[in-house]
């Protein structure tokens, strides 16, 4: 018998007949059959004591229930009622529109908390990748702002909106390093640099979880997809990856480790096969590295059916083997597929899987549920969600970050910024009025009707609002129609305009999951539209709306200006207009290289040297193209110009336990105020455990300068910036020569030498 006492309510004590144990809810105290409160029910106890107490009371069936995550649909209460009663489900994730409110969520929670024997609360998960209802720019765009704190602020808002509908846990950050723009999921990550990616990973965890993830406006974060997913062959989603341990340690793992160091609650195992072993059955990465080396205390959820998919990968013969491989490798919770639920009981009883393996998985899941405060506050306020979405501070921030994420790629003859006094402005292209596409992939519960189109944002700035003529020109990707008439209308509008803006790019669903591309040009008839408008002789300003680096050498050749606006989110039109008219100075820089052609892929700045570097024959050059990217990592222009002085070091040699300074003078040589993103790069010239990249980003500072103003920018360098990992994960700081750059991007500047001595 379970006895519940309602605390703080003079009215009553309520007695229910349910099971041997007890359940606590806010305001309630549940007493066990001895008339005492269980340790796990007592919020005053430590998490570890509560976990141990609860684990000690669970049957094997209840334990296995904690390993199951199911998909929540409109009929979930009816469909899963029985299972919830038995404690057979641990978590739900959402896909459908029903998560606009917390009502059904609380009903499901009620079944788990009030009607199961031990009353273990459910944890509800959802993909709030770059916003819930207030959709911010895609992560790749936000990375271009080079402001991790700004990203943290967006994720704090995202946590608030997500938590208000009763979601406790979000499947982000996605920290997969990606070097192949054909892969649609490059949009979800932070680009090609592990150092910058680590700052963004940690910022995201802080933004979601805050200092106390149990707070009502916070959610648990999830590092995904562990690991190597971004190195997918041919850029095809879900494809195999081959990454040496040395490369894994130095490029693919650091962002995940940064999440662990920031206190992330959970990890998600990836879909891909890594060096022949699927990531969701990979004991080396999930247990040896994540648990044993990094001491990660939280749990790992599989990606969607990725435990079941171990069979298709060809390492499990059947569901039994898939479950055994996934669980013993270190995947604690199974998303959607049910191989743990279906087979593990029998396998434990037969001694094939040890009880200790199950206990460890359950312990990890319970730990996070306690940490999230779900035992002490299982329900959410059902009224809050109405006022929590799209609040003014969220909308203001969305506009600020949309502008800060823009990267100016070309600006011939100061084509930008435009004057607000312009009387005739032509805005042409399939993205001129398509507000929905600005939200990008994984747009949470974002709505096209919330979104400010480019036309709306630009029009609002003009002193003569009627001076904007908008023409679509052609469809975003349809190449079957000729669009002759629409192109002619666009040309006509361009011919009579004082300035012409072309809004070109990719639809939102051309990036993200399962949206790989074989080509990196503009889809459909957009290039024809571009050529026709350029042929008018008007200087053409291109606004790019896209979720990946595109290969657009012809635009670079013929456009007067190119502004990479990415998928800029719900305030995209306003944020982009702030840049176009110069109310905000462009200060974004690329965190991923833009190739000239698909054939150059992968092209990334932090590659190794060859034995034949440089230009010319026998240097690894193409016969039909240069080998450098069109726009390198770190690149981006301002409306003003900056001059970088020589790099000076405070010492030309130092020991590993000493620090030294590298500094240079930056001058604003233009006529407008602007912001430089001053970048520190280092190269370890000779490394014993494996060659190091030709350059690696190790620091940056954003510096605002007025016209003519100079400032000395200084970086303090220590062993943290000089070391690297060997294939086993040991941190090595080796004496010898290093090169140091302070530069505007990864392709410019001159290095100075430094010697690390014993």
Residue numbers at the binding site for ligand BGC (CB under 6 A): 93, 127, 171, 224, 303-304, 513
* Cα(524)–Cα(505) distance, integer angstroms: 10
Q: Which is nearer to ligand BGC, 28 or 252 (CB)?
A: 252
Residue nearest to ligand BGC (CB): 171
Q: Which is nearer to ligand BGC, 176 or 585 (CB)?
A: 176
In the complex, the smallest distance separating the C-beta of residue 159 from ligand BGC, rounded to whole angstroms, is: 16
Q: Which is nearer to ligand BGC, 279 or 438 (CB)?
A: 279
Q: How many CB atoms lie within 10 A of CB 750?
A: 11
In the complex, the smallest distance separating the C-beta of residue 171 from ligand BGC, rounded to whole angstroms, is: 3
In the complex, the smallest distance separating the C-beta of residue 269 from ligand BGC, rounded to whole angstroms, is: 10
- Residue 619's contacts (CB-CB under 8 Å, 6 or more residues apart) are 610, 612, 613
- Residue 385's contacts (CB-CB under 8 Å, 6 or more residues apart) are 100, 101, 102, 164, 165, 166
Q: Which is nearer to ligand BGC, 337 or 536 (CB)?
A: 337
Q: Which is nearer to ligand BGC, 280 or 679 (CB)?
A: 280
In the complex, the smallest distance separating the C-beta of residue 602 from ligand BGC, rounded to whole angstroms, is: 21
Distances (CA, A) of 561 to 490, 500, 731: 18, 10, 45
* Cα(430)–Cα(508) distance, integer angstroms: 12
Q: Which is nearer to ligand BGC, 184 or 629 (CB)?
A: 184
In the complex, the smallest distance separating the C-beta of residue 424 from ligand BGC, rounded to whole angstroms, is: 45
**SS3 label, residue 752:** strand
**SS3 label, residue 635:** coil
Q: Is 433 within 8 Å of 498 (Cβ atoms)?
A: no
In the complex, the smallest distance separating the C-beta of residue 358 from ligand BGC, rounded to whole angstroms, is: 24
* Cα(71)–Cα(561) distance, integer angstroms: 46
Please write down the long-range contacts of 22-29, taking CB distance under 8 Å and 24 or more positions apart. 22/119, 23/113, 23/114, 23/118, 23/119, 24/119, 24/375, 24/376, 25/113, 25/114, 25/378, 25/379, 26/376, 26/377, 26/378, 26/379, 28/4, 29/4, 29/5
- Helix locations, 116-213, DSSP H: 139-143, 148-164, 194-209
Q: Which is nearer to ligand BGC, 509 or 609 (CB)?
A: 509
Give one word for 228, left, alpha or beta, with left for phi > 0 and alpha for psi -120 to 50: left
Q: Which is nearer to ligand BGC, 279 or 552 (CB)?
A: 279
Reduced 3-state DSSP string for 297-334:
CCEEEECCCCCCCHHHHCCCCCHHHHHHHHHHHCCCEE
Helix (H) or strand (E) holding 256: helix 254-261
In the complex, the smallest distance separating the C-beta of residue 93 from ligand BGC, rounded to whole angstroms, is: 6
Q: Closest Cα partner for 749 from 652, 673, 664? A: 664
Q: Which two tokens stand for residue 107?
A: 């009903």
In the complex, the smallest distance separating the C-beta of residue 194 from ligand BGC, rounded to whole angstroms, is: 20
In the complex, the smallest distance separating the C-beta of residue 737 from ligand BGC, rounded to whole angstroms, is: 42
Q: Which is nearer to ligand BGC, 331 or 717 (CB)?
A: 331
In the complex, the smallest distance separating the C-beta of residue 174 from ligand BGC, rounded to whole angstroms, is: 7
Q: Which is nearer to ligand BGC, 444 or 634 (CB)?
A: 444
Q: How many CB atoms lie within 10 A of CB 728?
A: 10
Helix (H) or strand (E) holding 644: strand 642-644
Burial of 255 (0-12, 13-18, 19+ CB in 10 A): buried
- CA 251 to chain CA centroid, Å, is 16
Q: Is 38 a catalytic residue?
A: no
Q: Is 133 within 8 Å of 446 (Cβ atoms)?
A: yes
Residues 623, 517, 310, 61: is their CA dihedral positive or negative? positive
Residue 300 forms beta bridges with which residues?
267
Distances (CA, A) of 666 to 150, 634, 709, 751: 24, 16, 8, 16
Distances (CA, A) of 240 to 152, 194, 519: 32, 21, 20
Q: Which is nearer to ligand BGC, 171 or 642 (CB)?
A: 171
- Residue 10's contacts (CB-CB under 8 Å, 6 or more residues apart) are none
Mark 564-588 as b/e (b = at least 16 C-beta within 10 Å).
bbbbbbbbbbbbbbbbbbbebbbbb
Torsion (CA) 544, 545, 546, 550 in degrees, nearest 10: -10
Torsion (CA) 682, 683, 687, 692 in degrees, nearest 10: 110
In the complex, the smallest distance separating the C-beta of residue 173 from ligand BGC, rounded to whole angstroms, is: 11
Q: How many residues are listed for the chain in this entry?
A: 758
- Helix locations, 86-225, DSSP H: 103-115, 139-143, 148-164, 194-209
In the complex, the smallest distance separating the C-beta of residue 214 from ligand BGC, rounded to whole angstroms, is: 23
Q: Which is nearer to ligand BGC, 340 or 442 (CB)?
A: 442
Q: Which is nearer to ligand BGC, 96 or 610 (CB)?
A: 96
Looking at 94, 303, 332, 434, which residue is catalytic? 303
In the complex, the smallest distance separating the C-beta of residue 654 from ligand BGC, rounded to whole angstroms, is: 43
Residue 69 phi, psi (nearest 5): -110, 130
Q: What amino acid positions are annotated as catalytic residues?
A: 303
């Amino acid at each position: 018998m379970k006895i519940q006492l309602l605390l703080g309510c003079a009215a009553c004590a309520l007695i229910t007949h349910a099971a041997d144990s007890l359940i606590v809810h806010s305001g309630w105290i549940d007493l066990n059959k001895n008339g005492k409160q269980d340790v796990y029910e007592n919020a005053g106890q430590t998490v570890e004591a509560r976990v141990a107490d609860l684990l000690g009371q669970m049957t094997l069936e209840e334990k296995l229930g904690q390993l199951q995550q199911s998909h929540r649909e409109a009929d979930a209460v009816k469909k899963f009622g029985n299972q919830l009663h038995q404690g057979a489900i641990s978590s739900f994730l959402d896909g459908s529109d029903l998560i606009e409110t917390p009502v059904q969520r609380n009903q499901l929670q009620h079944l788990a908390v009030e009607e199961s024997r031990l009353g273990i609360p459910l944890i509800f998960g959802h993909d709030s990748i770059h916003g819930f209802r207030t959709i911010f720019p895609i992560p790749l765009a936000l990375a271009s702002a080079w402001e991790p704190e700004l990203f943290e602020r967006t994720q704090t808002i995202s946590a608030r909106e997500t938590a208000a509908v009763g979601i406790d846990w979000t499947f982000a950050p996605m920290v997969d390093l990606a070097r192949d723009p054909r892969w649609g999921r490059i949009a979800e990550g932070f680009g090609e640099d592990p150092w910058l990616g680590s700052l963004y990973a940690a910022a995201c965890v802080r933004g979601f979880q805050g200092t106390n993830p149990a707070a009502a406006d916070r959610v648990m974060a999830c590092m995904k997809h562990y690991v190597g997913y971004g190195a997918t062959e041919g850029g095809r989603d879900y494809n195999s990856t081959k990454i040496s341990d040395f490369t894994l340690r130095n490029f693919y793992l650091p962002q995940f480790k940064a999440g662990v160091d920031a206190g992330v609650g959970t990890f998600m195992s990836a879909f891909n096969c890594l060096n022949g072993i699927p990531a969701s059955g990979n004991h080396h990465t999930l247990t040896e590295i994540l648990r044993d080396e990094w001491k990660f205390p939280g749990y790992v959820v599989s990606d969607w059916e990725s435990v079941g998919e171990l069979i298709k990968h060809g390492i499990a013969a059947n569901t039994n083997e898939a479950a055994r491989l996934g669980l013993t490798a270190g995947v604690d919770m199974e998303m959607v597929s049910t191989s743990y639920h279906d087979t593990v009981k029998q396998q434990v009883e037969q001694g094939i899987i040890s009880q200790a393996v199950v206990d460890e998985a359950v312990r990890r899941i319970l730990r996070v549920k306690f940490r999230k405060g779900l035992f002490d506050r299982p329900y959410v306020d059902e009224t809050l969600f109405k006022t929590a979405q799209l609040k003014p501070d969220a909308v203001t921030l969305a506009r600020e970050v949309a502008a800060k994420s823009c990267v100016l790629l070309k600006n011939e003859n100061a084509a930008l910024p435009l004057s607000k006094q312009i009387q005739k402005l032509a805005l042409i292209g399939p993205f001129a009025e398509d507000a929905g596409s600005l939200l990008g992939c994984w747009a949470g519960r974002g709505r096209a009707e919330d979104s400010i189109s480019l036309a709306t944002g630009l029009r609002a700035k003009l002193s003569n609002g009627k001076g904007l003529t908008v023409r679509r020109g052609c469809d975003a990707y349809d190449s079957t129609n000729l669009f002759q008439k629409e192109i002619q209308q666009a040309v006509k509008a361009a011919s009579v305009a004082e300035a012409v803006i072309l809004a070109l790019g990719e639809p939102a669903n051309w990036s993200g999951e399962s949206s790989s591309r074989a080509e990196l040009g503009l889809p459909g008839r957009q290039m024809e539209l571009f050529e026709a408008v350029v042929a008018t002789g008007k200087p053409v300003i291109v606004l790019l709306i896209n979720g990946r680096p595109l290969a657009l050498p012809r635009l670079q050749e013929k456009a007067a200006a190119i502004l990479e606006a990415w998928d800029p989110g719900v305030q995209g039109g306003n944020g982009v207009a702030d840049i176009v008219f110069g109310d905000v100075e462009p200060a974004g820089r690329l965190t991923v290289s833009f190739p000239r052609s698909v054939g150059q892929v992968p092209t990334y700045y932090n590659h190794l040297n060859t034995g034949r570097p440089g230009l010319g024959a026998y240097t690894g050059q193409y016969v039909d193209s240069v080998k450098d990217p069109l726009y390198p990592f770190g690149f981006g222009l301002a409306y003003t110009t900056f001059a970088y002085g020589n790099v000076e070091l405070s010492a030309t040699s130092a020991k590993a336990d000493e620090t030294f300074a590298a500094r240079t003078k930056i001058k604003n040589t233009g006529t407008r105020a602007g912001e430089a993103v001053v970048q520190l790069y280092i190269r370890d010239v000779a490394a014993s455990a494996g060659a190091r990249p030709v350059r690696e980003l190790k620091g940056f500072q954003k510096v605002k300068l007025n016209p003519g103003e100079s400032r000395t920018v200084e970086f303090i360098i220590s062993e943290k910036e000089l070391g690297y990992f060997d294939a086993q994960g040991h941190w090595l700081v080796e004496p010898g020569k290093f090169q140091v750059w302070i530069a505007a991007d990864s392709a410019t500047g001159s290095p100075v030498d430094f010697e690390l001595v014993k």
